[in-house]
Each structure stands twice: as C-alpha cells, then as structure tokens.
Amino acid sequence: MPKAVKFLVLFLSFFVFASVSVKAWDDAGHKTIAYIAWNQMSPEVRERAFKILMSAPEDSDLSVFYLQDSRSADVKKRELFMIAATWADIVRDKKFKVRAEKYHHSNWHYADTFWTMENGKIKILPNPSEEGGKAVEKLIEFDKVLKDAAASDEEKAIALAWVLHLGGDIHQPLHTSGRVTELEPKGDQGGNLFSLSPKDAPREQSENLHWFWDSILGRLVARNDMPDDQYIPMLGEMITKKYPLAEMQNSLATGNFDEWQKSSFKVATAEVFPADLIRYETPTAKYRRNAFSVSEQQIALAGYRLGAMLNQIFGGQTDKK
C-alpha cells in the first residue's frame, strides 16, 4: 500500500492499541527519553542514527514513520528517532500477525529482581522457576550489534530501536522488580498484580500499580490534544531543567546495563511501596507527587545515559556504502 496510507493504518492501530494495553513507560515516557537522548547527541551521531533507522527491514515498518511533509528535516528526523523508541510496543499489535511474530518479544521488556520484606529488611530471592525477563541480556546483545563494524545498517536499525526502548524500560522501576508476598508467592509481575481499584471494580475499569507508574507523565502533565512536536519537547525541557545533566553526569555508567538495572531496582524498593500505598485504594496525593518526581529523575537519567551511549558508539563510525 502507499507509504502514507500504511503510516495512517499503523498510527491508528497503535493509538487504539496503546489506549487499551499500555506496557512499560507509555508512548509519552519513551518519546521524552528519546528526546532527551537526541539533545545530548552530536549532529554527526544524530545523522548516523537517522540513516540507520531509515535502513530498517521493510517488514519492520520503522522507516514509514519518517513523514514526507513540509516540516524541517531536523524536526522529522527527531520525530522518527522518538517514535523508534516506541516501536517495540507498536509491534505487539497482533493484527499485524507476521510482523508481531517476527519482532515482538514480551519477555525482553523487563529484568526483574525477585525480593520480599523480611523483618523490615529487603531480602533478595532466587528466581529459578520464574521468568525474570531479558532486558539486560538483550541490551548487551544489541550494544554489540551497534558497535560491530561488520553488522549491516539493517541489523543495526532493529538493534537501535530495541536499545532505545529497553534502555527506557529498565528505568521504570517496576520493570526491574518482582515483589513476593503472601498474595503473590511467585512475584507481583512488576506491580501488575497490585490493584489500585476496589475489589468489586469491573475488569475494564480496574487499574494496577504498574499502569500507574507507566502512565504517570500523561496523567500529571495534561496533553490537552497537543501534538507530539509540542508536548514531548515541553516535557523534555521541563524535566531536564529540573534534573540537568551536570547533576547526573557521575551516575551515567555508560553502557553498564547491569548497573542501570540495579539502580532502578533500588528505586523500586525504596520508593514504590511505602506504608501509605494500600492495595485496592487510589494512591494518596503525597504518593502521586513523589512518584512523579521519581519518574522525572528516571526519565532524565535514561535519556542522558542513552545519549552518552550513542555518542560513544556512533561518534567514530562512518556510513556504510
């Protein structure tokens, strides 16, 4: 089908899909992380990343998000980069069966450490029988692809899209946490089993803790129908002004994905489950304020880390002929 029509179909399907089945940071969170990363990248690295994404396999549909319209090339390239950070969620849509079967991998989106509270202290648990997720493993794998001079730009396009997404995912604290309780002896699935709705709430109206953290930006900073090219920069500038790179420079741990996971897990255990968070009840105003502040810091850190990582990887690379 014509590229413009294909983009419209993909956009509409993603909008409907995202509204009913949000996974990881929602699209605003992932795009804001990518926006922050883009702003850290040198012009040469931005161009290299753009050319790689435009080389994506046709069946991935990645390149269709570069729109042929009257806006400047710089804005359109940045937009493609931001959308690429959401691509791993877009390909979940099973209406596009061939694409979903090839590219969707649900257990790549998280890297859980299983834990419980014992005598008021955090106790790390082994997880031999439970799926802990492969986010860190895949980040390491795709990092190698991006650095490999022998890898094609087609391969690197998929690797880059996954790195942008997973690098964001593991900064959402509940994508690193599997809390074990009497009600959740096999883990709480990153807060998905912790309901914030009354027990008798209809399923379609139920909300859980994972969703609460995923969608926190959009609920606390109203979009009011603003398009992405206004809303995402507004979020990105607001967050980076509050949490500038200079204050986080010593925490980047560039390319150290195990450290990224560990620092996010530390946030999960310290900030996500305070005493005033009660199952089957809406979080308090105090909890919401703190969760928003924590999420802003995590989003800023993810963006800075990804930007530094891509500058390091692509800074010395040349285009493939």
CATH code for the domain in which residue 136 is found: 1.10.575.10
Residue 144 domain flag:
yes
Residue 320 domain flag:
no
User: Tens digits of per-residue pLDDT, 32-54?
Assistant: 999 999 999 999 999 999 999 99
Q: Residue 260 — pLDDT band, cuts 50, 70, 90?
A: very high
Residue 321 domain flag:
no
Mean pLDDT of 291-303: 98
Residue 189 domain flag:
yes
Q: Please give the share of the chain, as a percent, with pLDDT higher than 70.
A: 90
Alpha-carbon separation of residue 100 from 52, 161, 225 (angstroms): 21, 15, 29
Q: Residue 211 — pLDDT band, cuts 50, 70, 90?
A: very high
Measured distance CA(35)–CA(106) in Å, rounded: 24
Beta bridge partners of 177: 113
User: What does the H/E/C string look like for 46-58?
Assistant: HHHHHHHHCCCCH
Residue 25 domain flag:
yes
Residue 131 domain flag:
yes
What's the pLDDT at 7? 46
Mean pLDDT of 156-168: 98
Residue 268 domain flag:
yes
User: Tens digits of per-residue pLDDT, 90-117?
Assistant: 999 999 999 999 999 999 999 999 999 9
What's the pLDDT at 10? 47
Enclosing domain of residue 300: 3-314
Q: Is the pLDDT of residue 267 over 80?
A: yes
Specify whether the backbone of 277 is left (phi greater than 0), alpha (psi in -120 to 50) or beta.
Answer: beta
Residue 255 domain flag:
yes
**Number of domains within the chain:** 1
DSSP H or E segment with residue 143? helix 135-147
